[in-house]
Structure 1
Amino acid sequence: MPHDDNLQMPGDRLPLSGVRVVDLSQVGAGPYAASLLGDLGADVIKIEPPTGESFRYIDNLFGVGDSAYFYGVNRSKRSLTLDLHESEGMDVLRRLVADADVMIVGFRPDAVTRLGIDYESMGKLNDQLVYCQLTAFGEDGPRAHQPGMDLLGQAIGGIMGLTGETDGPPIKAGVPMADFVGSFLLGFSIVSALRARDLNGHGQKVSVNLLDGQIAMLANILTHYDRTKVPVRPQGGGHPQIAPYQPYQGGDGKDFIVACLNDRFWLRLTKVIDRPELADDPRFVTNADRVANRGALNDILIPIFAGHTTASWLERLDQVAVPCGPVHRLEDVFTEPQVVHNHSITELEHPIHGRYPVPNTPFRLHGTPAQPRGYAPLLGEHSVEILGEAGFTHDEIRALLDKSVVTTSTVTEPA
């Protein structure tokens, strides 16, 4: 895996160079979105309470207060601790927001109002501000007051009800899908709002919630349900609208995918398995036929695929361009040849813990290539630096540190 030094890529060559982001989000969705903005060159200031956000403590793999989860979603940014329950802390925040381009808030709506960090309050400080409010369910409505998280987003948005084995219990996706879909939507919305500001000269409020993101994932089946009135139910590893399009098991017990997205692939598959007569079987002629007769189709395919190893099937299918691939476990992803070729995983260098892997920036800008630019910061690592840049004097910084409104984990304190 390639190695990236901390914040070494020249920022003036990156698309979001000069954009300052004040990140007040926590856990997964907001922090990961802010990290991607940092990958693109934005100066992201992560603001946490003096004790750190709660997900610094979800595991102890890098020590207490430096969880692996936190390290995974908080790269390419600087850390400032700030006690927003103290008037001095709010004064610091206001001074930062007055000179910021983007502000990300990730609390329940009532907490946002109670802290005085709502759009109405922050927008008065800076009419150029792109203010982003990330919530679980929305800023108003019957669930707006409820605590929200990835699991609830998947459940209420219908994703869990679509996932799992046929007639089995609902299954959560193995990754925090609601959170990370929210991350990508938030990043997309922010760059869109910045472009709008380029055009009209004004900032605006952006609202993203986890529930809407999960509903957006239903794009291919909402209309299907409306037309058929037949609700889609879990298909295991299969697809409710396409067949064969699922995992099968080779004779060596290893799983692999066969994905016949159209009838041309199906015709090729019938030849690979030496059953060309299936192409004319009225149960399987079209995709709609195969979906309607999925059980009968699998009764034929499963024992055939069990007759040879997975590697053998993948080679044969690839030779005739039938979409296929292995079903990797997590540990296999690191050595998957295409992942290695794409540099999909990279490494960051932490000054204490050394190198650790993170997903690389998942999009390629070939003229202004972006990449992770720095390890997840220590709590308050850049507090003094950021306050100095914001115009705070030596005495002001010392007073904030003495009162613990601001803390620092570095030795870089005012002389």
Structure 2
Amino acid sequence: MARKIKRSMGVLSHLRVVEIGSSAATSYCARLFADFGADVQKVEPPAGDPLRRSAPLTPKGQSAWFAFLNFNKSSTIINRADADAITRLRAMVEDCDILIDGRDVDPADCPFIDIAAVRQRRPGLIYLEASWFGREGPYAGFAATDSTIRALAGLIKLVGSVEGPPSHAPDFQTGILAGLWGFIAAASSAVAQMQGRKGRSWSLSIFESSLAPAEYLVSETFARGDVIRRIGINRFWPNFPAGIYETKKGSIGVTTITPAQWRAFCDMLGLPELRDDPEVGS
């Protein structure tokens, strides 16, 4: 059963997108297409996408993370045990413009589909598959989690108190980063397709996507010999406030880099006297 969602016309409203498998990376990638007006159909098993059970949960027991990653989409339930499951999925895929595949991270009981055969019949299909480490390289085929990817990429090195181990936030940071890169790749293919080019196939490495934020730090180290260390308050000196801070109920991460972000931050906290103060907002 599909749940139809009304959406306003957007720059990508001419595109039909199908999302299979389960990963934060592919869910966020598909969500960005939906935000720009594309018709996104998310294929789920009868039990629902495993991400529906990701904390934090609302008072009604619904996953806030799932709601964020899948905003503006429609959901189609396909039971792998049904006799027509493969036929239904193949018909959906052959009728779409972009297929976003997260099965390598979690197949989520998705029926089998021969991607090579589909692309042979539909040479214009844009195909993006996500995996933890991509299809090539020394880690290809390895299993991982958000925590291990973040640690390998060095994303937790600067987070936490000066003493003791680094802190890890229970979120989908690596999936958000990878989903953004995947959207850029697939959207660029959609633009090229409008110029008469055939569909492209993309292999999205969640690990490599997570390395991007650390690249400039490596360059700074080579150029200036300055190795950034954990200082306990600000993760990204000299911006302020930019760090993870203790609150009455756990910790909160804050990053305000641009003037617009600072003003929005002050508005959210009800601090109009600081909003336009050049001493703290410049």
- TM-score clears 0.5: yes
Say if 1:110 and 1:187 are closer, same or farther in 2 by CA, change over 3 A.
closer
Quote the Cα distance in structure 1 between the aligned partners of 2:123 and 2:112: 17
Quote the Cα distance in structure 2 between the aligned partners of 1:199 and 1:192: 11
Find the partner of 1:24 among 20, 26, 51.
Answer: 20
Amino acid at match of 1:81: I
The unaligned stretches of length 5 or more in structure 1 are: 1-5, 249-254, 262-310, 326-415
2:126–2:201 contact (8 Å) kept in structure 1: yes
The unaligned stretches of length 5 or more in structure 2 are: 244-251, 259-269
Quote the Cα distance in structure 1 between the aligned partners of 2:142 and 2:81: 22
Q: Aligned ranges for residues 34-45 of structure 1 at < 5 Å?
A: 34-45=30-41
What residue number does 1:163 align with? Answer: 159
Q: Is 1:105 aligned to residue 101 of structure 2? A: yes
Say if 1:110 and 1:177 are closer, same or farther in 2 by CA, change over 3 A.
closer
What residue number does 1:71 align with? Answer: 67
Quote the Cα distance in structure 2 between the aligned partners of 1:260 and 1:209: 27
What residue number does 2:206 align with? Answer: 210
Give the TM-score normalised by structure 2. 0.75
Quote the Cα distance in structure 1 between the aligned partners of 2:238 and 2:91: 58
2:89–2:111 contact (8 Å) kept in structure 1: no
Identical-residue share of aligned pairs (%): 24
What residue number does 2:262 align with? Answer: none
What residue number does 2:281 align with? Answer: 324
Give the TM-score normalised by structure 1. 0.53
2:89–2:113 contact (8 Å) kept in structure 1: no
Q: Aligned ranges for residues 275-354 of structure 1 at < 5 Å?
A: 315=273, 318-319=276-277, 321-324=278-281
Amino acid at match of 1:322: E
Amino acid at match of 1:180: I
Amino acid at match of 1:214: S
Aligned-residue CA RMSD (Å) = 3.8
Q: Is 1:177 aligned to residue 173 of structure 2? A: yes
- Could you tell me how far 1:188 is from its partner in structure 2? 1.8
What residue number does 1:93 align with? Answer: 89
2:274–2:280 contact (8 Å) kept in structure 1: no
Q: Aligned ranges for residues 46-61 of structure 1 at < 5 Å?
A: 46-58=42-54, 61=58
Quote the Cα distance in structure 1 between the aligned partners of 2:161 and 2:130: 32
Find the partner of 1:133 among 121, 126, 129.
Answer: 129
Q: Is 1:83 aligned to residue 79 of structure 2? A: yes
What residue number does 2:138 align with? Answer: 142
2:133–2:139 contact (8 Å) kept in structure 1: yes
- Could you tell me how far 1:49 is from its partner in structure 2? 1.6
1:309-332 CA distances to partner (integer Å, 9 max, x unpaired)? xx99x957944x23439xxxxxxx
Q: How many residues were matched structurally? A: 258
Amino acid at match of 1:151: S
Quote the Cα distance in structure 1 between the aligned partners of 2:182 and 2:280: 32
Of the two structures, which has the highest relative contact order with CA contacts closer than 8 Å and spacing of 6 or more?
1
